[in-house]
Amino acid sequence: MYLTSDPIDLSSLVALVHSPSRGGVACFLGTVRNHQGGRDVLRLDYSAYTPMAEAECARIAAEAESRWQCAVALRHRIGRLEIGEAAVAIAVASSHRDEAFVACRYVIEEVKRRVPIWKREVYADGSVEWVGAGGEAGKTVSGEAGKTVSGAGDKTGAELISQRAGESR
């Protein structure tokens, strides 16, 4: 299971991949920031298309493990997250640190690009926005927290996804 609604413990991911023959471990931890686009963020909610997200995470991990000589552990948090909590954690162990670093980087980029997970930001001013659904330039319907939603903006999902892929390179 790559998705979890419990807090993620990086050390336990390291323990999963580390072994006496794989001495180098590269990790990445993505945590909830307290600001986004100049606005104060109170907390996040992540939701997922669970069966597809699990399958895509498994594919990404397998790709990294076959492309580089390494072992990959990956977790993505789902549900409500407070500021500072880990949303995604990756640990990659290899006998060569080069491969551990490169594979770890690959995994986070592909997770952001391919895994069907959505982030909803709750701001200090009470407004709520689905990240990517129009972005900072999109319409934001402000109001009762938990009921409001931003507009999808002018860009199609496909356009936004290819934009993201471009940015991550």
Distance in Å, CB of 17 to a copy of itself, minimum: 10
Check: CB of residue 27 under 8 Å from CB of residue 14: yes
Question: How big is the site for a copy of itself, counted in residues (CB under 8 A)?
Answer: 30
Contacted by 165, from another protein, a copy of itself, none: CB < 5 to 8 Å by type: none
Cβ closer to another protein: 70 or 108? 108
Helix (H/G/I), strand (E/B), else coil: 29:
strand
Q: Say how many residues make up the chain.
A: 169
Check: CB of residue 153 under 8 Å from CB of residue 133: yes
Beta bridge partners of 3: 76
Q: How many CB atoms lie within 10 A of CB 137?
A: 9
Regarding 67 and contact with a copy of itself (CB under 8 A), the answer is no
> Alpha carbon of 108 to those of 14, 36, 42, 119: distances in Å?
16, 20, 24, 16
Regarding 156 and contact with another protein (CB under 8 A), the answer is yes
Cβ closer to another protein: 70 or 75? 75
DSSP secondary structure of 123-143: ETTS-EEETTSSGGGS-B--S
Choice from 31, 47, 105, 127 touching another protein (CB under 8 A): 47
H or E segment to which residue 71 belongs: strand 71-77
Choice from 39, 43, 65, 101 touching a copy of itself (CB under 8 A): 101
Region near another protein per CB under 8 A, out of 13-21, 62-70, 98-106, 107-115: 107-115
Sign of CA dihedral 98, 4, 54, 16: positive
Pattern 51-90, another protein, x by CB under 8 A: xxx-x--------------------x----------xx--
Regarding 139 and contact with a copy of itself (CB under 8 A), the answer is no
Site residues for a copy of itself per CB under 8 A: 9-11, 14, 18-21, 23-35, 83-84, 95, 97, 100-101, 104-105, 108
